[in-house]
Amino acid sequence: MEEFNEYEYSVEHSKKDGRIRRLKVLLIGLYVSYCLVFLFLVLAIRLLAPLYALVVVSCAFIWFLTWRYTQPTYLYNLTSGNLTFYTIYGSRTKKKRFSTRIADASLIAPLSSPEAKGAAEGAERSYYGVSDMSSPDCYIMIFTDEDGKKCAYYFEATAKAIKILRFYNRETVVGSVRY
């Protein structure tokens, strides 16, 4: 029973995802625009030359605060029959997305299985904890949150995670994983 007390698994978001790429391009464009506008204002108002250094410092500060959102890592934690999902931005900011009891899940199945086809239809919330949706170990978990809304959670499962999920909710777990 000791092996079922706590299990944690994390996966980095795929670098080839279009949404993250668009965010990176947008942020770089905002950084450049900010620097150009700041320089233009300093030139237009004819302020002191040392203010030019403020452009570099303030842009570096803005970069430090925002660039982490282009490097998400997803973490799920299985503890005593509960699943908690976190998003970690740039290895610094950890944000809890949801927590639910494993026994409350109505379906836990591989995304490629016939049971999973159409399972997420009608889900009011979707959570993605996969590096890439085409991963062979991509699973879906359908559950109802504390607000009574149907949720779909996509995650990459390991053999140990499936073993724990099956222990706490045998009826809804379908399939197995490669490792």
pLDDT along the chain (179 residues), means of 10: 73 79 93 90 73 84 92 92 92 91 90 81 88 85 89 90 89 71
Q: What sign for the dihedral angle of Cα 164, 167, 169, 170?
A: positive
Name the pTM for this structure.
Answer: 0.81
Identify the pLDDT of residue 176: 65
Strand blocks (E) in the chain? 6-12, 72-79, 82-89, 93-101, 107-110, 125-129, 138-144, 150-156
**CA gap 12, 75 in Å, rounded:** 9
Report the pLDDT value the prediction gives residue 127, as an integer from 0 to 100: 92
Output the pLDDT for position 119: 82
Predicted pLDDT of residue 177: 62
In our burial notation (b when 16+ CB lie closer than 10 A, e otherwise), range 130-142 reads bbeeebebbbbbb
